[in-house]
Amino acid sequence: MADFKDISARLKSARAEDAAGEAAADRPIDYGESYRIRAKMVGVLIRDARVNAGRTPADCAQMLRVAPEQIEQWEFGESTPSLPQLELLAYYLDVPVSHFWGMHTLQSSRDDPAAAQREYLALRDRLIGALLRQAREELGLSVADLAALSGMTPAQLEQYELGEVALPMHELTVLANGVRKNMDYFLESSSKIGELLRMREAWKHFTALPEDLRQFAANPLNLGFIEIALMFSQMPTDKLRRVGESVLNITM
């Protein structure tokens, strides 16, 4: 399969030649070559999106109800899908439909995911260790104290607090109990991953609500009532009690 940069360069060259041909009226425009180059560019972008999504030609063919050979022909630029077919592909491969008439591949713009994952894990190990040390010091516990409470050696605990060794989950739960923290204390909260995890947790709690409460909360017209409930939840107990007494006086 042709390199995308080569195809793009050929298209730009063809455009320049077309412009020159328009300026010199005696020079015909090679529309056929322009269409062939465009078809190959679309094909490269289809394959790029498919590989990025981890799909096979057979997967895409089954979704579109075409033969796998048809997908291969598109990817080699031997034929081109219609816009509705590209729209379905965009949905299936989780890319914007404009990807298929763009000038950049996903592969060329994506960082090495393995390197990013290693960096994320190393950073999180250090952060969890720092949080553990902070919670331990807030309770006035020494490393030896917490090690004794958790059945670990002080040297092992120091490695965890420095982020030098990944802290296994079953040991973290014991240490969290030792420093009187729940697991939420150690969860990621600042990155996109943390935001997504929080949204998933919030959605889990929302779907666990009774049906009538979910419908009430989902209705935009009830936003004012929810805001009032939020204000009440943030009031000091004595002030909330006075509000309750005032409401009771009005209704009596």
Euclidean distance between CA atoms 70 and 47, whole angstroms: 13
Mean pLDDT of 115-123: 78
Q: Which residue has the higher pLDDT, 30 or 123?
A: 123
CB neighbour list of residue 218: distance below 8 Å, 6 or more residues apart: none
Domain 113-186 belongs to what topology?
434 Repressor (Amino-terminal Domain) (1.10.260)
Q: Do domains 4-109 and 113-186 have the same CATH topology?
A: yes
Of 29-38, 158-167, 193-202, 212-221, minimum mean pLDDT range:
193-202
- Reported for 158-165, long-range contacts at CB under 8 A and 24+ positions apart, including other chains, are 160/128, 160/129, 160/132, 161/129, 161/130, 161/132, 161/133, 161/136, 162/126, 162/129, 163/122, 163/125, 163/126, 163/127, 163/128, 163/129, 163/130, 164/125, 165/125
pLDDT(137) > 70: yes
Q: What is the percent of the chain with per-residue pLDDT over 90, rounded to a whole number?
A: 41
Model pLDDT for residues 105-115, shown as the tens digit of each residue? 887 555 556 66
Confidence at residue 42, expressed as pLDDT on a 0 to 100 scale:
92
Give the domain ranges of the chain: 4-109, 113-186, 212-251
Confidence at residue 217, expressed as pLDDT on a 0 to 100 scale:
84
**DSSP character for 183?**
G
Q: Which CATH number fits domain 4-109: 1.10.540.10, 1.10.1740.110, 3.40.50.2300, 1.10.260.40?
A: 1.10.260.40
Q: Which residue has the higher pLDDT, 17 or 74?
A: 74
Mean pLDDT of 61-82: 94
pLDDT(172) > 90: yes
Mean pLDDT of 232-252: 77
Euclidean distance between CA atoms 236 and 245, whole angstroms: 14
Euclidean distance between CA atoms 142 and 188, whole angstroms: 25
pLDDT band at 23 (very low <50, low <70, confident <90, very high): very low
Confidence at residue 189, expressed as pLDDT on a 0 to 100 scale:
62
Confidence at residue 252, expressed as pLDDT on a 0 to 100 scale:
62
Please count the residues of the chain: 252
Confidence at residue 118, expressed as pLDDT on a 0 to 100 scale:
80
